[in-house]
């Protein structure tokens, strides 16, 4: 019919590129994770704010409860299909790390990227948060790749080669780094507070983040400029800023160990530290200046059910009733237990 022909013509126009061929729609996924209190209304803020800026949404960010999802659509050129970016945000700092298994799957791994948002205003939490989140994520990704190796080895080879390509083979550090298995961006938030720190303190934190980012083949930024590249495939910025007195901006593969320099400690202090890897050495030097908080301090102990922003009257009433029934059951059970006559034999 005429209607069928019209629909076919519209679909043809929407799904064609400049050569008249069908244009491919890209789908990418980005997981944001970091400090449990990383979402704050400040310059270069937390995870939620970065996502909203990338999506160009004028919304006031709210604390992330557990694992939240949003998406964005953008067209690379006029009259072309819109690419889709899936945004996942992990709340709770290091207390809900197991939830990463939901967004990172064998189906999404090929186009997945991770953004680690670290609170620069809390250096005593920085290394612990970074280490735990990256370790759990890496272990999970490695398990997925191991399974894919048996069923689809070509995909695994493609992913590994793409990560290695961030560093040219003639780079002097090519054999010294250990690239993260999927694209990684480390973002320093709360820069306005960080900027007020003593110059030497800023230097130690900046150099450490530079080393960690370079070691993992990650990009290091204090803005959301690279997020559009991860989400929609836009060209990465070629600008570079390594001055610790200014916001750092170092795309993956554009730094080097020689430019970063040795860990910020005297030769005698470094000689006394026992470390098996360069990463372990930098960790010990950093934590000597900024003793880490205990893991208990980093856990989010608040009960979301008591948070007024998630109030649901009918559900809350039912929950209160069930709680009363449970308490009554425990009292009855305790009374029955005490009244039981046990045979001493």
If you search the block for the tokens 């390509």, which residue do you land on?
Answer: 165
- The pLDDT, as a whole number, for residue 47 is 43
pLDDT tens, residue by residue, 286-315: 999 999 876 554 555 455 566 666 677 888
The dihedral sign for the CA sequence 164, 170, 171, 176: positive
Q: What is the torsion angle, in degrees rounded to the nearest 10, for the CA atoms of residue 113, residue 219, residue 188 and residue 120?
A: 120
- The pLDDT, as a whole number, for residue 44 is 34
Q: Is-contact 36 92, C-beta < 8 A?
A: yes
pLDDT tens, residue by residue, 131-156: 999 999 999 999 999 999 999 899 89
- The pLDDT, as a whole number, for residue 10 is 64
Distances (CA, A) of 242 to 211, 215, 245, 279, 307: 12, 16, 9, 20, 42
pLDDT at residue 56 greater than cutoff 70: no
pLDDT at residue 85 greater than cutoff 60: yes
CA angle 97, 100, 102 (to 5 degrees): 135
- The pLDDT, as a whole number, for residue 96 is 78
If you search the block for the tokens 């060209």, which residue do you land on?
Answer: 235
Between 193-197, 231-235, 275-279, the lowest mean confidence (pLDDT) is in 231-235
The fold of 24-260 is Rossmann fold (3.40.50)
Q: How confident is the model at residue 20 (pLDDT cuts 50, 70, 90)?
A: very low
User: What CA–CA distance (Å, rounded) separates 216 from 134?
Assistant: 10
Q: What percent of the chain has pLDDT over 70?
A: 70
**Higher model confidence: residue 273 or residue 201?**
201
pLDDT tens, residue by residue, 237-269: 567 888 888 888 898 889 999 999 999 888 888
Model confidence pTM above 0.85 = no
pLDDT tens, residue by residue, 88-144: 988 877 777 888 999 999 988 988 999 999 999 999 999 999 999 999 999 999 999
pLDDT at residue 11 greater than cutoff 60: yes
Which of 235, 243, 278, 275 has its CA nearest to residue 257? 278
- The pLDDT, as a whole number, for residue 339 is 58
């Amino acid at each position: 019919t005429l209607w069928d022909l019209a629909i076919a013509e519209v679909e043809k126009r929407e799904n064609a590129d400049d050569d008249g061929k069908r244009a491919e729609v890209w789908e990418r996924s980005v997981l944001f994770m970091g400090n449990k209190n990383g979402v704050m209304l400040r310059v270069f803020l937390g995870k939620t704010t970065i996502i909203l800026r990338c999506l160009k949404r004028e919304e006031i960010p709210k604390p992330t409860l557990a694992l939240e999802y949003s998406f964005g659509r953008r067209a690379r050129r006029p009259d072309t299909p819109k690419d889709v970016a899936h945004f996942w945000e992990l709340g709770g700092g290091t207390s809900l790390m197991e939830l990463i298994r939901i967004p990172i799957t064998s189906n999404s791994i090929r186009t997945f990227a991770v953004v680690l948002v670290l609170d620069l205003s809390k250096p005593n939490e920085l290394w612990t948060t970074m280490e735990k989140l990256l370790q759990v994520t890496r272990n999970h990704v490695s398990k997925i790749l191991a399974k894919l190796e048996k069923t689809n080895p070509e995909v695994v080879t493609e992913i590994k080669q793409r990560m290695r390509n961030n560093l040219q083979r003639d780079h002097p550090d090519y054999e010294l780094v250990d690239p993260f298995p999927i694209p990684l961006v480390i973002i320093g938030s709360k820069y306005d507070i960080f900027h007020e720190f003593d110059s030497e303190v800023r230097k130690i934190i900046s150099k450490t983040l530079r080393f960690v980012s370079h070691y993992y083949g990650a990009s290091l930024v204090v803005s959301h400029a690279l997020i559009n590249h991860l989400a929609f495939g836009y060209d990465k910025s070629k600008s570079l800023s390594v001055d610790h007195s200014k916001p750092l901006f170092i795309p993956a593969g554009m730094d080097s160990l020689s430019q970063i320099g040795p860990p910020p400690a005297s030769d005698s202090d470094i000689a006394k530290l026992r470390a098996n890897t360069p990463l372990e050495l930098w960790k010990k030097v950093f934590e000597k200046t900024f003793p880490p908080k205990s893991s208990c301090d980093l856990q989010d102990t608040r009960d979301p059910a008591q948070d007024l922003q998630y109030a649901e009257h009918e559900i809350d009433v039912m929950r209160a009733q069930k709680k009363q029934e449970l308490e009554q059951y425990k009292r009855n059970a305790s009374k029955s237990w005490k009244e039981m006559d046990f045979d001493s034999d």
